[in-house]
Amino acid sequence: MIQYISTRGGIDPVNFDEALLQGFASDGGLFVPQTIPKISCEQLRALSGLCYTDLAFEILSLFIDPDIIPKKDLRQLIDTSFASFEHPDISPVKSCCTDPSLFIMELFHGPTLSFKDIAMGFLINTMDYLLQKKNERLTLVLATTGDTGPAAAHAAAGKKTIDCWPLYPKGMITREQERQMTTLGAANVHPMGVENCTDGGDDLDLVVAKLFADPMLKKRLNLSSVNSINWCRVMVQSIHYFYGYFQTCGTSGDPVVFSVPSGAFGNLFAGYLAREMGLPVTGFICANNANKALHTAFSTGIFRKEDLKQTLSSAIDIVVPYNFWRFLYFTTGCDPEKIVAWMDQFQQTGALHLDKESAAAIQNGFTSVSISDPDTLMTIRKNFRAETPYLLDPHGAVAMAAARTLRETYASDTRIICLATAHPAKFPEITARALGPDLPAQAFHPSLIKASKVCEKLRICDCEHLESTLVRAIENQTKKNKATKDEAAGKEGIHG
């Protein structure tokens, strides 16, 4: 039976449902499976011909015990979660118009047009399924740099078991992303725009982490998280690496590298997970913008907190990529004591200097680069002005620019798959900066046009008072929910 433990080693093993519903482990660590399931070459061959949802079923079955979610229910959860995607392949791979060795995997065909939809639908549907069984309700609090919030809000909208509180740094995400949260009109979704976030989304992460670190408060408010600290997110994201690999080279064993625009390192960790399971990936390019904590870690062995820089690829403006701790846990050979000591050191000094052996372990198959805003704009322009125009969003452009920068470091027959993590329509101002004010048809999406005509509902709060304001708002909402439930029970009583 597969069970989950904490990267800090301070909890007893729990089943998948507990890991999913709790989000954070109670000792302040991140949930990880006790062992990573392995897939043999023969199994890989069998998986290579499957459609996305069948592949998802096979991979997720390795992580979820049928005693917790019976196979029939798992199948249904997967089918429901991917039904709203616009593309039948979920994550199609296209060849790049400017270089035959480069490919683009489009991860933005879900309902809120970013790769966050890929795991969020399944996570929240599964949460709802488990909560219904337990007759419980959860409060999801999540920090967003622009895409997690919309994906969670959309997936949670209308669910009777969930209240969803997406927090975002006001003015630091696009209006398109903001409207995806504020125009849903769902009574259980409560977006909060937070002003004066000097460290952007990281300021919000800190408050969320603080709430979760208080066990009494966490219990009283029934808190959980769907940020990529939640194991379920990274587990589901591993599927697109398998799918992208199979679409590009089947099981030929040809060299394949993934170039991944990275912020909190959830998506790239999912690629690492796929490789650890047995997918023969040649390498990964960790593509940072000017917020380059990951690039610094991979290139120097120093994991350091630096000041936030606002960039054009705002969703990856992240100072502390918290999934890096999960990666370090596995690259140390699953040593929780080391992780505790390192996390303490990082907390106290803002930096962690890895020893030689640990630095070599993280570099195994990983390269990295930091892409500037001018390079991001130039990449958007170059791809759009190619013979077959292709419009990248700024994050896909960071991945593409990174792939071009490091192209020569790989053998000439290596295929590089760049992850396009968002639809360009979410970033019209940046597209205009790259291409000029007359935006092409590819720069729009009907769902965003529709949202721009709907009345917005949101709370605004200053970062300094976020913790107290949020706790009070959640308490009030909980009272309201209880009153509604009591009223419904009363009515049922009268009619029953």
Point out the residues that are catalytic. 116
Q: Are 260 and 287 in contact (CB under 8 A)?
A: yes
Selected range binding ligand PLP among 39-47, 119-127, 139-147, 434-442, rule: CB under 6 A: 139-147
Collapsing DSSP states into helix, strand and coil, what is residue 16?
helix
* Nearest CB to ligand PLP, comparing residues 315 and 474: 315
Question: Are 172 and 310 a contacting pair, CB within 8 Å?
Answer: yes
Window 57-96: contact mask with ligand PLP (x via CB under 6 A):
----------------------------------------
Asked whether position 30 contacts ligand PLP by CB under 6 A, the answer is no
Smaller CB separation from ligand PLP, 115 or 384: 115
CA distances from 124 to 58, 177, 233, 245, 462 (A): 20, 19, 10, 27, 28
Closest CB to ligand PLP among residues 152, 264: 264
- Beta-carbon contacts of 166 under 8 Å, excluding residues fewer than 6 positions away, are 142, 144, 148, 149, 150, 152, 153, 181, 189, 190, 191, 192
User: Which residue from 395, 404, 415, 423 is in contact with ligand PLP, where contact means CB under 6 A?
Assistant: 395
Residue 180 lies near ligand PLP (rule: CB under 6 A) = no
Q: Where are the alpha helices (DSSP H) in 26-70?
A: 41-48, 52-61
Least CB distance from residue 487 to ligand PLP, whole Å?
39
All residues at 6 or more sequence positions from 109 whose CB lies less than 8 Å from its CB, including other chains: 85, 86, 87, 90, 91, 92
Position among 7, 91, 112, 145 found at the interface with ligand PLP (CB under 6 A): 145
Q: Residue 120 interacts with ligand PLP (CB under 6 A)?
A: no
Residue in this structure with the two tokens 């400017």, named with its chain if needed: 98
Three-class DSSP category at 285: strand
Q: Between residue 245 and residue 304, which ones bind ligand PLP under the rule CB under 6 A?
A: 261-268
> Which residue from 167, 316, 354, 397 is in contact with ligand PLP, where contact means CB under 6 A?
316
Measured CA to CA, the distance from residue 55 to residue 43 in angstroms comes to: 11
Q: To the nearest 10°, the Cα dihedral for 166, 169, 174, 180?
A: 10
Q: Which is nearer to ligand PLP, 17 or 147 (CB)?
A: 147
Pick 57 or 269: Cβ nearer ligand PLP:
269
114 binds ligand PLP (CB under 6 A): yes
| Least distance in angstroms from the C-beta of 293 to ligand PLP | 11
C-alpha distance from residue 213 to each of 28, 352, 468 (Å): 7, 22, 15
Kindly list the residues in this chain that would bind ligand PLP in the complex (CB under 6 A).
114, 145-147, 228, 261-268, 315-316, 395, 421-422
